[in-house]
Amino acid sequence: MPVYEYFCPDCSTKFEKLTSISRMNEQPACPNCHGANARKLLSTFAARRGAGSDSDLGSVSTSSGGGCAGCSGGSCATCH
């Protein structure tokens, strides 16, 4: 089940809710003020590529060779 982030403009509370995909369009009540005006936020995430350092956060490889999808070798100027 995905976790959705919400913001309640009534009390300025940001909260998360674990919701099944079949119920994702239901409007949750704010856990702080119980208001019904919460808005779904656009969430971001980070992915780690292998066992690298923290600099790998946010990088997602689409090839099995370790490089970018363009060269698959990790040695072209766009792969870094």
| Global pTM value | 0.53
pLDDT tens for the chain, 80 residues long, are 888 999 999 999 999 999 888 988 899 999 999 999 999 998 777 777 776 555 544 444 444 444 455 555 555 555 54
- How many other C-beta atoms are found inside a 10 Å radius of the C-beta of residue 8? 21
| Type of residue found at 53 | S
Nearest by Cα to 2 from 29, 41, 31, 35:
41
